[in-house]
């Protein structure tokens, strides 16, 4: 491999000749051989760094034009656009398991943008620290990148996926209006429910989750940028924080503001914890919904069998003809992963010491994995399962009229205790509720028919 010599404050370093990174990135690349090529710093963070570095340059150009010249701004902006597009992803090799402040990933961005900018300018114009990192510190850029990446992931990926599934459930509610089935509580037979009502529970849960996620996004839109090393804003010009937030808003189309207290925003990750809590709530509701669907579809002969779901692939290497609820299973596995990630995010956020949290990379990694997994999982579940849910009306009708809990309708006429006796006799003797009620002398057959209407119990 061909190398070139780069240097930093510690001396010279050999760097692959075809890469835009420089000495500090290379040191990290050599010193943290942990999950290389597998647990790379999330590309959402790389993307966010491209946005914030361009915003910082724009702000510096306005506030310090003697240092951030037109020529420098032009070269930086073009290089940042390439970072934002993802075309320079191969030049961001660092892993999650590095310095807890994310300093090395910040320097990775600084070095790549500087070297690519110099190539664009055709001159040694830009310095990673003096120009790309102007008015900044790793301690305020990494938490800013986290918030930018989190908001984009939530608003542009998770929320649209949730909206798609909500619309599918709305369609299923309309399609199945009027179908009455047995309700279930404690995994036992309960009083009747309309299938559309059951679906509405799934839909309303997603709508609640959406509200919580959007609420969390408002807190994430407060940015640490401008706090520099410890929150005091050392070496950043007056107004930089506000200008940077404005420019980030313009670049993303989302309304970001500067954090009113940088001492908080550098050390506390409470907004990330809160937002991940909303993701955990979504995961919990998706777990519940997916489990409902696979229970209702269980069978085909020895289960509940009240719905049909799409048959996507063979389910067994030994049992011919078997088909499994695989989309439900991927949802439940994703939910478990998100719940586990929530523990990691919370633990990482609790480790702020004095003016900085040094667990930020693992915090960002888990948060962004949760957001990505949920968005993709929900879209897959919608496309390959939910849109194809069909009611098995005959089985629903059979189960409804076989349910002993229909006896609840008799409470006003024969009382709770007599209704309980009726249900127990029907079960013990394997006869209908009507037969049991008449044999016990609680109602005549004619009166039973007058008051017993399962479809009206919803």
Name beta bridge partners: 181.
193
Q: Which of 186, 259, 298, 317 is catalytic?
A: 186
Taken as a whole, the chain contains a residue count of: 458
Question: Which residue in the block uniquely carries the two structure tokens 């059951």?
Answer: 198
Tokens of 155: 């608003």
- Residue 186 falls in the annotated catalytic set: yes
How far apart CA 131 and CA 20 sit, in angstroms, is 16
Instruction: For residue 53, give both structure tokens.
Output: 């570095």
Answer for the pair 141, 155: CB distance below 8 angstroms, yes or no: no
Among residues 85, 87, 215, 316, the one annotated as catalytic is 316
Q: Residue 2 phi/psi, 5° resolution?
A: -80, 140
276 alpha carbon, distance to own chain's centre: 8
How far apart are the C-alpha atoms of 394 and 27, rounded to whole Å? 68
The two three-digit tokens of residue 81, written as one number: 């656009």
Q: How far is the C-alpha of 202 from the C-alpha of 153, rounded, in Å?
A: 23
Distance, CA of 253 to CA of 248 (rounded, Å):
8
Query: Distance between CA atoms of 13 and 273, rounded to whole angstroms?
Result: 38
Annotated catalytic residue 138: no
Location of structure tokens 């003809």: 321
The two three-digit tokens of residue 361, written as one number: 């990379």
Task: Please state whether beta strands 222-223 and 257-258 pair in parallel, antiparallel, or not at all (unpaired).
Answer: parallel
Tokens of 213: 């996620």
Question: How far apart, in whole angstroms, are the C-alpha atoms of residue 94 and residue 109?
Answer: 11
Percent composition of the chain: helix, strand, coil (DSSP 3-state, to 5): 65, 10, 30
- What lies within 8 Å, CB to CB, of 437 at 6+ separation is 410, 414, 422, 443, 448
- C-alpha to C-alpha distance for 386 and 332, rounded to whole angstroms: 14
CA distance 338 to 277: 10
Instruction: Enter the tokens of residue 42.
Output: 């999330």
- Give the 3-state DSSP-derived string for 11-63, with helices as H, strands as E and coil as C: EEEEEECCCCCCHHHHHHHHHCCCCCCCCECCHHHHHHHHHHHHHHHHHHHHH
- Active-site residue list: 186, 316
């Amino acid at each position: 491999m061909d190398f070139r010599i780069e240097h930093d404050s510690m001396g010279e370093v050999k760097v692959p000749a075809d890469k835009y990174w420089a000495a500090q990135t290379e040191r990290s690349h050599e010193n943290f051989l942990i999950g290389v090529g597998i647990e790379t710093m999330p590309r959402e963070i790389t993307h966010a760094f491209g946005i914030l570095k361009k915003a910082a340059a724009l702000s510096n150009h306005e506030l310090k034009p003697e240092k951030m010249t037109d020529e420098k701004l032009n070269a930086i902006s073009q290089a940042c656009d390439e970072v934002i597009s993802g075309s320079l992803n191969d030049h961001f090799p660092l892993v999650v398991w590095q310095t807890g402040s994310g300093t090395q990933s910040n320097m990775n961005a600084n070095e790549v943008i500087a070297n690519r900018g110099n190539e664009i300018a055709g001159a040694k114009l830009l310095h990673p620290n003096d120009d790309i990192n102007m008015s900044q510190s790793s301690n305020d850029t990494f938490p800013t990148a986290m918030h930018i990446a989190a908001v984009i992931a939530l608003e542009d990926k998770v929320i649209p996926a949730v909206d798609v599934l909500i619309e599918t459930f709305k369609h299923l509610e309309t399609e199945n209006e009027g179908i009455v089935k047995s309700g279930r509580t404690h995994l036992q037979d309960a009083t009747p429910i309309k299938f559309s009502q059951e679906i509405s529970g799934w839909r309303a849960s997603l709508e609640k989750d959406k509200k919580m996620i959007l609420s969390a996004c408002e807190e994430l839109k407060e940015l640490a940028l401008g706090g520099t090393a410890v929150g005091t804003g050392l070496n950043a010009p007056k107004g930089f924080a506000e200008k940077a937030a404005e420019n980030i808003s313009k670049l993303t189309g989302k309304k970001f503001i500067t954090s009113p207290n940088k001492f908080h925003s550098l050390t506390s990750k409470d907004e990330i914890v809160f937002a991940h809590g909303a993701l955990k709530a979504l995961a919990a509701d998706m777990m519940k919904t997916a489990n409902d669907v696979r229970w209702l579809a269980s069978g085909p002969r020895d289960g509940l069998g009240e719905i049909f779901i799409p048959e996507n692939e063979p389910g067994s290497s030994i049992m011919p003809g078997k088909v499994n609820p695989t989309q439900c299973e991927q949802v439940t596995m994703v939910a478990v992963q998100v719940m586990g990630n929530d523990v990691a995010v919370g633990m990482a956020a609790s480790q702020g010491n004095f003016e900085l949290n040094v667990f930020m990379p693992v915090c960002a990694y888990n948060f962004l994995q949760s957001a990505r997994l949920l968005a993709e999982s929900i879209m897959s579940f919608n496309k390959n399962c939910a849109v194809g849910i069909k009611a098995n009306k005959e089985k629903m009708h059979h189960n409804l009229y076989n349910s002993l809990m229909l006896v609840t309708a008799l409470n006003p006429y024969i009382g709770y205790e007599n209704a309980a006796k009726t249900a127990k006799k029907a079960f013990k003797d394997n006869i209908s509720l009507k037969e049991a009620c008449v044999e016990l002398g609680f109602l005549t057959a004619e009166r039973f028919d007058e008051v017993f209407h399962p479809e009206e119990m919803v």
